[in-house]
Chains A and B, each alone.
Chain A
Amino acid sequence: MKITITLRGSLRKYLEGENERIVEVPEGCTCDEALRSIGIDYKEIKNFGFVAVNNMRVMIYAELKEGDVLKAYPRIYGG
């Protein structure tokens, strides 16, 4: 199935500076698995933040559907 991956802040380097890319992933793919398909293993990135699907925060292991927009954020500090 096709989904869009959008990256924010310092994570953009994983798409060579692009903001977003449409990728092909298996049915039932989780957010974690989709990110690993473009080289992002969130556990290995010290300041990985969170993910949102269609502008709503979800847990990293939430499953994706066809056409979903997966957004990944780095940590942002302060308030």
Chain B
Amino acid sequence: MTMTGYQNRVLRIDLTNRKYSAEPLNMEFAEKYVGSKGLAIRYMYEELKPGIDALGPENKLFLTTGPLSGTPAPCSGKLSVAAKSPATGTMNDCSIGGHAGIRIKYAGYDMIIFEGALERPGYVLIDDDRVEFHDASDLWGRGSHETEGILAKQYGIEYTVLSIGPAGENLSPMSCINSDYYRQAGRGGIGAVMGSKKMKAILIRGTKGVRVPEIKKTTERMIELLQTDVLQEDNTYIYDCGTTAFLEACNDGGILPYKNFQDTTDPEWTEYNGDILLKYRKGKRGCGSCGLGCGNFLQIGEAVCEGPEYETISVAGPNAGVKDPFKIVKFNQVADDMGLDTISAGDTIIWAMEMTEKGIHDFGIRFGDADKMREYLILMARREGIGAELADGVRKASEKFGGTDFAMQVKGLEYPQYEPRGSWGMSLSYAVSDRGACHMRAYAPNVEVFEAAAPPYTAEGKGQIVYDLAEFNAIKFSLCICDLWGTIDYEIMAELLTMVTGRNWTVEEMSEVGRRVINIARAYNQREGFNRKDDTMPRRLAKDALTRGPAAGQTIPEEAFNDMLDQYYKIMGWDENGIMPQELIDTL
């Protein structure tokens, strides 16, 4: 059926032959997967043959909007950036903020697909119906920030720039894609996919519109939702504090990791907490069509960044044994410019710190050495010196040098900054997440730790908790709604989609789409050979007990972890090996 809100147009760019064409959107896919995350994965399942090299020309880069993109729907400025992951070999979909999603929609497309590879470093410019291929030999090698600055000066602010830094150029599995200087499609080596296509940057400008059935009524209702639901205190803390607000809660909650997940809580957390960091705030920013404005611009001396977000504060702070706010902000700045995911790069460096201190292998860096941490970021991005040993992430490094028990990763994607021994469901969430250890699929602490009467240190009921969270985020991110509109619910999502598409979407369908999105991602991975053996937990969590905080004494016994996995598989209708039956795959 016809749905408004979509442009019904996909731009396909053949980088090898420097050609492009537009084709209709597969509306059957859109009916079943809506947009953004879900739609991207369905296209990947269709178009990426199993077993392809994630850094080869057969991999494709999918930039996918949703039907709400480009409308005044609050918090709808996100864009899905997806490809097969060079870090894990699974599917990978990232969510980037800024303005790229809206510009793509206004250029007249629901999705842009990049195929093949350029012969020499270049950048691609998209201006409504026009696509140009430009030489980028004088940009190649430059940091993301410098690149974006040069292109912004040359083309003006009507263009959004997506770019990679040296890390993406050097095919690091920890490289990201930057936009608006400080927003990232961060994880799984998505930057390396762009780098493997020798694409330094993508510029997008759009002047068209988005059609909805009743524009006045829709706009008024969207503004009403902004004022009555989005701008309530339960969401606006993110305007006041950004994600620094998580620091105290995670420290009290017993899930703030310390020195490579050796322990939790940091008695010195007040030295770099939100109150300290936000004293240096110079300005605020939000994404397109946001309404909440989570972005904080900080400047401490010559350290500048938009952020730092909780993940970066934690990995460059207590998890590295550092407490100097200047050095945390500087780490953020360097990582962004190099085009490195702070979580993965940070986790790899702090693993190297522990390896050095334990005398297993001397990487020349110890906990607390923030200055060297930044040097190592640059060396890793450029694959030089000691950076060459660490550039491929913690799984590969630990396979070569040892220390696999405390190489904190799943499927090759490094652990976000929530300690699962303080939130057992998070170990399940990391294990079953579609792209490796990711905290954005099912954020278990929200229900297990940040909740008055929930027991964190048990396996009981965690399968259902993780499923419910994963289903909710799967549909939310397929509408390309930002994570930080926390009070949105299924009713509001169904209402927004109905208003924009002209098709009556129900709450039940929101749930069905969420479940289907989880399953299509699993089906992609299953076809690549992934199953229960890959849904893992680092050995540290079973072996080493925490000594501090509310979770002191906790480990996660293997039996408990396996119990949680069994629960989840049963809820999903997968077998005891985590395999989806063919009749379920056929429904996707």
Interface of A toward B, CB cutoff 8 Å: 8-10, 13, 42, 47-52, 55-61, 71, 73-79
In angstroms, Cα B310 to Cα A48, docked, is: 21
**Do A50 and B310 have beta carbons less than 8 Å apart?**
no
**CA of A55 to CA of B254 in the docked complex: distance in angstroms?**
9
B268-310, CB < 8 A from A: 310
The reply to whether A9 and B245 form a contact with Cβ atoms under 8 Å apart is yes
Q: Does B17 contact A (CB under 8 A)?
A: no
A16 to B550, CA, bound (A): 30
Ranked nearest first, the 4 interchain pairs of A and B with the lowest CB-CB distance are: A77-B486, A10-B233, A52-B252, A60-B452
B479 CB → nearest A CB, Å:
16
Task: Report B-chain residues with C-beta under 8 Å of the C-beta of A77.
Answer: 234-235, 443, 446, 483-484, 486-487
Inter-subunit contact A50/B451 (CB<8 Å) = yes
10 A-B pairs within 8 Å (CB atoms) are namely A9-B245, A10-B233, A48-B452, A52-B550, A56-B252, A57-B449, A59-B455, A75-B234, A75-B451, A79-B310
Q: How many residues of B contact A (CB 8 A)?
A: 38
With A10-B237, A76-B237 already in contact, the answer to whether A47 and B487 are too (CB < 8 A) is yes
A34 → chain B, closest Cβ, in Å?
13
Tell me the smallest distance from the CB of A12 to a CB of chain B, in Å: 9
Asked if B452 and A79 make an inter-chain contact with CB atoms under 8 angstroms apart, the answer reads no
Chain A residues with CB below 8 A from B253, complex form: 50, 52, 57
Cβ contacts under 8 Å, B11 to chain A: none
B231 at the binding interface (Cβ < 8 Å)? no
Minimal beta-carbon separation of B484 from chain A (angstroms): 5
Name which of B232, B245, B311 has the most chain A CB atoms within 10 A of its CB.
Answer: B245
A49–B452 Cα distance when bound, in Å, is 6
B residues in contact with A57, CB < 8 Å: 252-254, 449, 456, 550
B549 contacts partner chain A, Cβ-Cβ < 8 Å:
yes
Interface string of B254-266 (1 = CB under 8 A from A): 1000000000010
Question: Are the CB atoms of B484 and A73 closer together than 8 Å?
Answer: no
- Contact (Cβ within 8 A) A76 B246: yes
How would residues 441 to 484 of chain B score, 1 for a CB under 8 Å from any chain A CB and 0 otherwise?
A: 00101100111110110000000000000000000000000011
Residues of A within 8 A of B237 (CB): 9-10, 74, 76
B238 at the interface (CB under 8 A from A): yes
The chain B residues found within 8 Å of chain A, CB to CB, are: 232-235, 237-238, 243, 245-246, 248-249, 251-254, 265, 310-311, 416, 418, 439-440, 443, 445-446, 449-453, 455-456, 483-484, 486-487, 549-550
With contacts A9-B245, A56-B549 known, is A79 near B483, CB below 8 A? Answer: yes
CB contact under 8 A between A8 and B451, given known A78-B243, A79-B418: no
- Is there contact, CB below 8 Å, between B453 and A60? yes
Complex interface: chain A residues within 8 A of B418 (CB)? 79
Residue from the list A50, A58, A59, A79 in contact with B443, Cβ < 8 A: A79
Q: Determine if B452 and A56 form an interchain contact, defined as CB atoms under 8 angstroms apart.
A: no
B234 CB contact (under 8 Å) in A10, A51, A55, A71: A10
Closest residue of A by beta carbon distance from B269: A55
* Cα distance A49–B250 in the bound complex, in angstroms: 12
Residue among A13, A50, A55, A71 making CB contact with B452, cutoff 8 Å: A50
Interface core residue of B238, B243, B248 (most chain A CB under 10 Å) = B248
Q: Say whether B245 contacts A79, CB under 8 Å.
A: no
Contact B443 A78 (CB under 8 A): yes
Across the interface, A49 reaches (CB within 8 A) one of B251, B310, B451, B483, namely B451
In the docked arrangement, what's the CA distance between A9 and B237, Å? 7
Q: A49-B451, A58-B550, A60-B452 are in contact. Are A76 and B249 (CB under 8 A)?
A: yes
Q: Are A79 and B416 in contact (CB under 8 A)?
A: yes
Contacts of A71 in B (CB 8 A): 252
**When chains A and B are docked, how far (Å) is the Cα of A57 from the Cα of B234?**
20
Q: Which B residues are in CB contact (< 8 Å) with A47? A: 234, 487
Cα distance, A14 to B235, chains bound together (Å):
18
In the bound complex, how far is the Cα of B232 from the Cα of A75, in angstroms? 12
Question: Which of A48, A55, A60, A77 has the most chain B CB atoms closer than 10 A to its own CB?
Answer: A77
- Residues of A contacting B449 in the complex (Cβ-Cβ under 8 angstroms): 50, 57
Instruction: Say whether B549 contacts A59, CB under 8 Å.
Output: no
Known A9-B233, A51-B452, A55-B252; judge A79-B246 contact (CB<8 A): yes
Instruction: Point out the residues of chain B lying under 8 angstroms from A79, CB to CB.
Output: 246, 310-311, 416, 418, 439-440, 443, 445-446, 483
Give chain A residues whose Cβ lies under 8 Å from the Cβ of B251: 55
A79 to B418, CA, bound (A): 9
Beyond A9-B233, A10-B234, whether A61 also contacts B453 by CB under 8 A is yes
Cα(A71)–Cα(B248), bound, Å: 11
Q: A9-B237, A50-B253, A56-B252 are in contact. Are A78 and B486 (CB under 8 A)?
A: yes
Which of A50, A74, A77, A78 counts the most chain B CB atoms within 10 A? A78
Instruction: List residues of chain A with CB within 8 A of the CB of B243.
Output: 78
CA distance A18 to B66 in the complex (A): 42
Question: Which of B232, B440, B453, B549 has the most A CB atoms < 10 Å from its CB?
Answer: B453
Expressed in whole angstroms, the minimum distance between the Cβ of B526 and any Cβ of chain A is 26
**A57 CA to B450 CA in the complex, in Å?**
9
Report A-chain residues with C-beta under 8 Å of the C-beta of B455.
Answer: 59
Please report the C-alpha to C-alpha distance between residue A54 and residue B234 in the assembled complex, in whole angstroms. Answer: 24
Least CB distance, B250 to chain A, in whole angstroms: 10
